[in-house]
Amino acid sequence: MIKQVKRFINDNSLLSAESLIIVGLSGGADSVALLHILNRLGCHCRAFHCNFHLREEESVRDERFAVDFADSLGIPIEVAHFDTYSYAAAKKISIEMAARELRYEAFEAARARENAAAIAVAHHRDDSIETLLINLVRGSGLKGLTGIRPKNGFVIRPLLCVSKQEIMAYVKRQHLPFVIDSSNLENNFLRNKIRNQLIPLLETLNPGIRDTLTQTMEHLRRSQSIVNQAIVEALPTILEGNRISKAGLRKLPSPEAVLFELLSPYGFHPDVIKKIAANIDRQSGKVFYAPGYRLSSERSCFVISERADNLTASFSIGRDVSSITKPFDMSIEYQTAKSDFPIAKDRSTASFDSDKLHFPLTLRRWQPGDRFRPFGMKGFQKLSDYFNNQKFDRCDKESVWILCSGDDICWVVGHRIDDRFRITEKTKNCCILKVL
């Protein structure tokens, strides 16, 4: 099996022997086999164990085992502790999803800290089959039916070429100890139901179902590569920034398939994407939502933007602040005014007479009734009228930020400053803000 894994690593260019690797070690047979095999191959390993504190005494047992096993191989190990229940409650996600997010965040932090080349996790061929079936049950496009990829960013999966049965045979043959996670025997999670109930049922219909599904995933991966190439060729005709051209979509043989590939990464559900595709030739103004994004149907295009659900959010900027990172990155610089003071022409930079500003400044969303005096004008204008004149669509209006000095607007960020705060020949001190 070691030769088989080595060949898989080389065929998929997963890692080189001299590279430092963070190896996830839960203590189960899969992760034990992974660490043992990588160590036998001469890889430079660091073990990492996550204690999610979900199974009381078992969690303590698993941590102790992982530490002892890594020590027996002479491999350094790091242990991270998590309050998984609190994290899940705060983010309103399942325990399973919370553990996954915490695990990979910790892995990546360790990889960056150690300057490691990769994070190795112990997914095997049966895990990939289960993922195929999960996505099939939930509803998925072609990509979701191709199983687990050998490499995703810094995460590598060297055991995808072997089955659970082969792993169990390996640990038995090598006399390797491991622990059993009792939660894997329960059917509270969809993956466990598929593993413990659905696959055994399918095996009564086709004893070789695992091999059949593995071959099916290979066929679908090849088809996916063709689809990916077609989408790459179509992108210049339909996508510009965050706008998807309706005219470009109409020319494609399957607009819905392309929309699925474009919008799924943003979290749009397949049922929602189907409705979006049906809206191509319908009246504009419809808005579709994903957990963190929204898509609005305009006259000639669909516009993707982050959801601005909290329209009351505001951020304070004190005089002594030189930069901010929320709600976006921006630098603040003060200079003495000179006769040849250069005023930037790009919209990401605003120059003010700092003596006219009242600190702290405030960044907030625009509100109905807001008005300001656009640079170069003598009279006031409602922001709603300014937006209409500038042909802002609904997403543009929702995403814009307003910089205020006291109750007065001094900058429609990224667009126009207020004339009352501009630099003049009488200006002595300047304040320059630049969106980075």
The residues pairing with 362 across neighbouring beta strands, listed in sequence order, are 316, 404
Give the pLDDT of residue 8.
92
Same domain, 351 and 408: yes
Contact present, 108 and 154 (Cβ < 8 Å):
yes
Strand ordering across the sheet containing 239-240: 239-240, 243-245, 301-306, 293-297, 287-289
Contact present, 242 and 305 (Cβ < 8 Å):
yes
Long-range contacts of 248-256 (CB under 8 A, 24+ apart): 249/280, 250/280, 250/281, 255/280
Domain boundary among 306, 331, 355: 306
Return the exposure string of 132-143: e unless at least 16 CB atoms fall within 10 Å of the residue's CB, then b: bbbbeeeebbbb
CA 395 to mean position of chain CA atoms? 21
Same domain, 81 and 188: yes
Tell me the one-letter amino acid at 195.
Answer: R
Contact present, 140 and 43 (Cβ < 8 Å):
no
Q: Distance between CA atoms of 31 and 127, rounded to whole angstroms?
A: 13
Tell me the one-letter amino acid at 378.
Answer: K
Pair of tokens at residue 418: 């207020």
Residue 297 lies in a domain: yes
Residue 223 lies in a domain: no
Residue 273 lies in a domain: yes
Q: Give residue 398's domain range.
A: 314-435
What DSSP designation does 196 have? I
Same domain, 342 and 269: no
Same domain, 334 and 366: yes
Q: Distance between CA atoms of 3 and 282, rounded to whole angstroms?
A: 58
The model's pTM? 0.63
Residue 231 lies in a domain: no
Alpha helix segments (H runs only) across 76-116: 84-91, 95-114
Residue 229 lies in a domain: no
Same domain, 186 and 95: yes
Same domain, 365 and 414: yes
pLDDT of the chain, 436 residues: tens digit per residue: 999 999 999 999 998 767 899 999 999 999 999 999 999 999 999 999 999 998 888 999 999 999 999 999 999 999 999 999 998 888 888 888 899 999 999 999 999 999 999 999 999 999 999 999 998 988 777 888 889 999 998 999 999 999 999 999 999 999 999 998 777 666 667 888 999 899 999 999 999 999 999 999 999 999 888 888 888 888 888 988 889 999 999 998 889 888 988 898 888 888 889 889 998 987 677 888 887 788 888 888 898 887 765 556 788 999 888 998 888 888 999 998 877 777 777 888 999 999 999 999 999 988 889 999 999 898 999 999 999 998 887 767 777 899 999 999 999 999 999 999 999 989 999 999 998 8
Count how many domains the chain has.
Answer: 3
Same domain, 30 and 152: yes
Contact present, 421 and 354 (Cβ < 8 Å):
no
Residue 221 lies in a domain: no
Domain boundary among 289, 306, 323: 306
Same domain, 50 and 190: yes
Give me the residue label for tokens 């329209």: 311
Domain boundary among 290, 306, 322: 306
C-alpha closest to that of 215 among 145, 284, 277: 145
Give the pLDDT of residue 121.
96
Same domain, 328 and 370: yes
Same domain, 392 and 331: yes
Residue 261 lies in a domain: yes
Q: What is the CATH number of the domain that holds 359?
A: 3.50.40.10
Same domain, 300 and 332: no
Q: What is the CATH number of the domain that holds 119?
A: 3.40.50.620
Same domain, 259 and 171: no
Give the pLDDT of residue 236.
86
Residue 136 lies in a domain: yes
